[in-house]
Amino acid sequence: MRPKDKIAYFYDGDVGSVYFGPNHPMKPHRLCMTHHLVLAYDLHKKMEIYRPHKAYPVELAQFHSADYVEFLHRITPDTQHLFSNELARYNLGEDCPVFENLFEFCQIYAGGTIDAARRLNNQLCDIAINWAGGLHHAKKCEASGFCYINDLVLGILELLKYHARVLYIDIDVHHGDGVEEAFYFTDRVMTVSFHKYGDMFFPGTGDVKDIGEREGKFYAINVPLKDGIDDTSFTRLFKTIISKVVEMYQPGAIVLQCGADSLAGDRLGCFNLSIDGHAECVRIVKKFNLPLLVTGGGGYTKENVARCWTVETGVLLDTELPNEIPENEYIKYFAPECLLNIPNGHIENLNSKSYISTIKMQVLENLRCIQHAPGVQMQEVPPDFFIPDFDEDEQNPDERMDQHTQDKQIQRDDEYYDGDNDNDQNMDM
């Protein structure tokens, strides 16, 4: 028997309190709902809970351009009217609005994914979870599709310090374009995205014919699907492709983006997946017993997002959850039934057997073209990113901190950490 997996879970209550705006589909409040459901099911008692560090601008600039990071740091809702050229250049606006505490929001969700990768690298856990992460559309120099900083790329870059090959898997309903683009020319990361494609569906990329270029040729895999795919077709296709990918590519670590907008009934999605079907993909990936970093992603029917990621936390902990949702702060959102399972979707499945079979054959054909596990010459592993702590004595007391900064330095006592699992103070950088 393998020893039980050790699981690290990253959460900061501040991510759930930002607000994209009244008509925006992205509701970070879903992260609070997920966390409280995880607590209600007592799952926190089986994991190590950490508050992530806020990623420093210089860490974000490991992938993003320094000028873009600097602009995100500087811009506020009150000053944005002065920067119309820059807003256009960095694609900030309707989809990616400037809101209060935007940069801190990015620092927290990216910090969670970076910390998750570092704990895996240092063999301090087998599985690391950051439901706030998974913002897969962000590009090097611009925001896109509700994503500002691409935490997945930053996490993968961290894993590449210790692993010759990293596998990225994406089950969001939208194509994982930002991650694919970042690693399109290298064989050190294989990206595999299952997504809706066609009908001008966002972001419009992810054709089965897009397979990577130069050294990365055959190391990008796209599984384009049509409306209405159901559990049976999706999980069968997923298992066939991912099993072959792991066999051929032999990754040292896996990053799994669990966007919940592929669930039935999502406000922006068009698939028919149940939570069980979605979670089955997590179960399949866990069985490879490789270091695993799991993130969230899209998901716009927030009570279903919370249900889904809670069930998937249970899957990663080998814990089956009772269908009846326990009492918690957000119970009213799950009314009237207050059950974990969601009804099946009723969108017509436009993915014919022959269509799925064709896609599967094309993908498996491309996989045959990669040499068995490409040889990567491992250089000496670079040290983890080191940032010195600020010495409070050296800070000029005349430079008064604004109230928000002071508030941030006060330990919140309303955040729930439990006994021995409270590792908030000894998080190693």
Q: State the Cα–Cα distance between residues 384 and 260, nearest whole angstrom.
A: 32
Q: Two tokens at 70? A: 């600097």
Q: How much is the average pLDDT of 301-323? A: 98
pLDDT of 89 higher than 60: yes
Percent of the chain with pLDDT over 90: 83
pLDDT of residue 394: 44
Per-residue pLDDT for 207 more than 80? yes
Q: How many distinct structural domains can be found in the chain?
A: 1
Query: Annotated binding residue at 261?
Result: yes
Is 36 considered catalytic here? no
241-270, pLDDT tens digit by residue? 999 999 999 999 999 999 999 999 999 999
| Res 344 pLDDT > 90 | no
DSSP string for residues in 193-246: EEEE-STT-TT----TT----GGGTT-EEEEEE-TT--HHHHHHHHHHHHHHHH
53 is in an annotated binding site: no
Q: What is the DSSP letter of 135?
A: -
pLDDT at position 343 is: 85
Average pLDDT for residues 283-305, to the nearest whole number?
Answer: 98
- Give residue 383's pLDDT: 54
Q: Which residue range(s) make up the domain with 199? A: 7-369
Helix or strand (DSSP H, E) at 170: strand 166-170
Res. 425: pLDDT tops 50: no
At residue 87, the pLDDT reads 98
Residue 1 lies in a domain: no
Considering the domain boundaries, does residue 422 fall inside one?
no
Residues with Cβ within 8 Å of residue 221, at least 6 apart in sequence: 190, 191, 192, 193, 211, 241, 245, 363, 366, 367
Average pLDDT over residues 386-412: 45
Torsion from C-alpha of 172, 175, 178, 179, nearest 10 degrees:
70
Binding residue per annotation — 199? no
Q: What is the mean pLDDT of residues 291-320?
A: 98
pLDDT tens digits along 103-160: 999 999 999 999 999 999 999 999 999 999 999 999 999 999 999 999 999 999 999 9
The upper half-sphere exposure of residue 236, i.e. CA atoms within 13 Å in the direction of its Cβ, equals 10
The CATH number of whichever domain residue 88 belongs to comes to 3.40.800.20
User: Is pLDDT above 80 for 421?
Assistant: no
Please say whether the beta carbons of 52 and 128 come within 8 A.
Answer: no
What is the C-alpha separation between 12 and 83, in angstroms, rounded? 31
Q: 220-225 and 253-257 as β-strands: parallel, antiparallel, unpaired?
A: unpaired
User: Token pair for residue 326?
Assistant: 């326990």
CA distance 186 to 216: 4
Catalytic residue among 35, 137, 175, 278: 137
The answer to whether 219 is annotated as binding is no
Rounded to two decimals, the pTM is 0.89
Q: What are phi and psi of 144, to 5 degrees?
A: -165, 140
Q: List, in order, residues 6 or more apart from 184 with CB less than 8 Å away.
A: 212, 213, 216, 220
Q: Nearest to residue 158, comparing CAs of 72, 53, 246, 274?
A: 53
Q: Does 389 belong to an annotated binding site?
A: no
What is each CA distance from 260 to 134, 217, 250, 283, 320, in whole angstroms? 11, 29, 27, 15, 19
Whole-angstrom distance, CA of residue 103 vs CA of residue 75: 9
207 annotated to a ligand binding site: no
Burial of residue 344 (CB within 10 Å: 0-12, 13-18, 19+) is middle
pLDDT > 70 in the chain, percent: 86
What pLDDT score does 325 carry?
98
Q: How confident is the model at residue 1 (pLDDT cuts 50, 70, 90)?
A: low
**Average per-residue pLDDT in the chain?**
90
pLDDT at 340 exceeding the cut of 60: yes
3-state secondary structure 43-111: HHHHCEEECCCCCCHHHHCCCCCHHHHHHHHHCCCCCHHHCHHHHHHCCCCCCCCCCCCHHHHHHHHHH
The pLDDT value given to residue 2: 59
Query: Quick check: 308 and 260 in contact, CB under 8 A?
Result: yes
φ, ψ for residue 295, nearest 5 deg: -125, 170
What does the pLDDT read at residue 410?
A: 39
Between 70 and 337, the higher pLDDT residue: 70
In the block, which residue shows the tokens 């800070």?
A: 395
How confident is the model over 363-380, as a mean pLDDT? 70
